[in-house]
Amino acid sequence: GIQVEQSPPDLILQEGANSTLRCNFSDSVNNLQWFHQNPWGQLINLFYIPSGTKQNGRLSATTVATERYSLLYISSSQTTDSGVYFCAVEGGGTSYGKLTFGQGTILTVHP
């Protein structure tokens, strides 16, 4: 099946810093989503982005499908950005919505 690797595994920032999280995947994808799992465990959908670039406030994401990677940018980080960021992909073909998750990036933002 499709493989998903995220980097870095851990990231520690001071409030106000910018960061880039990376997701590499091993095959073509129909679906790619970025999620934030907050400290209370809730999985929040950030972006649906199998290709192209999107922005939502301080967050933006870019997926280069031909090179099989996606980047999540967080600007002017805040303590509320802390948590685990997951990239999840659905492989091409008939995957019926099966999302394969990366191992996540644990982000800690200090005040």
Instruction: Name the residue among 39, 9, 36, 20 with its Cα closest to residue 106.
Output: 9
Question: Rounded distance, CA 29 to CA 51, Å?
Answer: 9
Among 5, 27, 28, 43, binds another protein (CB under 8 A): 43
Q: Please state the closest distance from residue 30 (CB atom) to another protein, in A.
A: 6
Using rule CB under 8 A, residue 85 touches another protein? no
Residue 45's DSSP bridge partners are: 35
Residues that bind another protein (CB under 8 A): 30-31, 33, 35, 37, 41-45, 48, 84, 86, 88, 90, 96-101, 103-104
